[in-house]
Amino acid sequence: MRMSDRRGERRAARVEGAEWETPSIKSLRFRDPILSEALPGQFAMVWIPGLDEIPMSISEIGPGDLASITVKGVGEATRALLGIGAGDRVWVRGPYGTHYRFEGLEKPLLVAGGVGAASLLPLAKAMGAAGLIPTLLIGAKSIGEVPLLRRARALEASGGLKLVPATEDGSGGERGLASEVAERMLEAGDYDSMFACGPEPMIVALMGIAEREGVPFQASLERIMKCGVGVCGSCCIDGLRVCRDGPVFEMGALKGLEDLGRFKLDESGRRVPLDA
Ligand SMILES: Cc1cc2nc3c(=O)[nH]c(=O)nc-3n(C[C@H](O)[C@H](O)[C@H](O)COP(=O)(O)OP(=O)(O)OC[C@H]3O[C@@H](n4cnc5c(N)ncnc54)[C@H](O)[C@@H]3O)c2cc1C
Ligand code: FES
């Protein structure tokens, strides 16, 4: 059986490394030969027995059969994952969804809002391996809340990345919202593309900036997911299934989404304002 044929199986993996990125974000590293074949931007469904099964970006893809997830505690399931340590098990299936594409690009700008860096760091690594030097902007409220700094700094030290932390309170890196800093960088630099993952208002702001500056844009979206494979409809936005048609969408598809930045489906499938 090919590895990819097993991606729908729920598999247990022993956590080999658990590292706090910030006081509310933790990375769990484990071995899974199937997730370690994921493409940047794809996600896993992570099962928390007795509680829920939730989507998580695959925040590290290889080397070998290593993979990781990077979890921000926002509710019951994510807080349960924060309680997991080395030696415990995680249950995963996947990888699922679309991935970022960077063929033909030379100078990409990657913009992460907080834990959105989990989706973009593997992209930066893949770009570096392909000989590009992407710029990765990671925004957070303060420097202590910027996730994945250690891994991003290691990639920067190996010459495969330019890292730009951005903080709203100016406690480190560039001062301002990630979208404001990205706008200044796009105006001043010669970037030929922009990639984004993070809060939806940030993505909407960046879409407008990318359109004005005339650079191609891809973004990863988040919606409540139950099946993860295009069957249940819980992740729909304007007729598209984020789990299967996304999570990574190009500008053409994003522009057609009337609910983007405005409405989402809640747990019961009701269309509610995004901040409800
Ligand atoms: C493709 C994809 C990749 C993701 N990658 C990561 C990641 O790498 N790290 C990470 O920390 N989180 C990630 N998320 C978000 C994560 O899945 C949710 O935060 C999680 O499901 C919340 O579960 P909970 O039980 O802890 O919180 P809940 O109590 O269920 O919800 C807390 C709040 O989060 C909202 N929410 C619930 N589920 C989602 C969801 N799937 N997407 C967006 N908002 C949601 C709820 O409406 C509520 O406002 C990703 C989501 C998607 C769709
Ligand atoms: S999560 Fe079921 S269709 Fe997307």
CB-based contact 164:188 (threshold 8 Å): no
Mean pLDDT of the chain: 96
Looking at the chain, the whole-number percentage of residues with pLDDT higher than 70 is 99
**Does a cis peptide bond (omega within 30 degrees of 0) precede residue 63?**
yes
Distance 275 CA to ligand 2 centre (A): 21
Q: 233 CB less than 6 Å from ligand 2?
A: yes
Distance 56 CA to ligand 1 centre (A): 8
pLDDT at 190: 86
71: closest CA among 87, 105, 38, 48? 48
pLDDT at 4: 59
The per-residue DSSP string of 114-163 comes to GGGHHHHHHHHHHHHHTT---EEEEEESSGGG-TTHHHHHHHHHTTS-EE
E-only strand ranges, the chain: 11-22, 25-31, 43-48, 52-57, 60-61, 66-72, 89-96, 108-113, 135-140, 162-167, 174-175, 193-197, 217-220, 236-237, 240-241, 248-250, 263-265, 271-273
Domain locations in the chain? Answer: 3-96, 108-273
CATH 3.30.70.1050 fits 108-273, yes or no: no
Secondary structure class of 248 (helix, strand, coil): strand
Tell me the CATH class for 3-96: mainly beta
Q: 70 CB less than 6 Å from ligand 1?
A: yes
Closest ligand 1 atom to Cα of 56: 5
- Asked if the model's pLDDT at residue 1 lies above 60, the reply is no
Closest ligand 1 atom to Cα of 246: 1
Closest ligand 2 atom to Cα of 226: 1
Q: What is the CA radius of gyration of the chain?
A: 18
pLDDT at 276: 87
